[in-house]
Structure 1
Amino acid sequence: MNVLSMHALIGAYSSDGRVWMEELKKVLESNINLVYSFFQNEVQGVSLRKPEGTYVVVPNFENWCKVHGRTFDELLRSGVEVGVLWRDGRQFHIPYGIRLALGLPTQKLEEVLHRLKQYVL
């Protein structure tokens, strides 16, 4: 173990670490609810389940692509072109899935969703 790892471990198991973890859990839960609501209410044709043990969601865009006459690769590229760095789900055996990690400040996530709605979806 190096010095940084040792201090990180001490911090993680301290009372301050517990406070930080509780705050983080609130942010992650808020972000998950925000993304779930966005895809349920703002975007037709995208299916999504809330994660139960992670901060990664994988919306399925199969129906959306068919309805809008776009390929999955076109969808991926259009997101990247406006600064949304999402991850292709095919490498995880999810053919029309896009992995979105939600471990970021809510304000940044809101910006991502705004860009998606305005420029991509």
Structure 2
Amino acid sequence: MHHPTNSVPLADEITRQLGQLTEHLAQLPPDEATFVIARILDPDDGVLGGITGLMIAGSRFARTQAEQGLLPAEVWLALGRAANELNDIGLDLDEHRATLHHTTTAAKPPTPAPLVVRRHR
């Protein structure tokens, strides 16, 4: 069986960089954090789309291995379910990407959300 020599270090490096992104995101000012989140959620070029693609590829691999009796079918089914759920999450979040993008490009100051607006009597 062929093992690409750079795949495991690449996966480790991506994991390390995701940790760095998480740390940076927690420290960014709100406008920059909103932009980064919108970028992460981009279905074509974002992190969530990339991870979903990885899970789809993993599921396809596991299916082939399960058909050959090299992996239990449960592994393939679990990876397929994870890929489907990530895809569904991406679809649910995609409708909010425009709002996040609009927030980052809006010239006017933000308006408080109705939950935090106080009534004056």
TM range (shorter): 0.3 to 0.5
Larger fraction in helix: 2
TM value normalised by structure 2: 0.32
TM value normalised by structure 1: 0.32
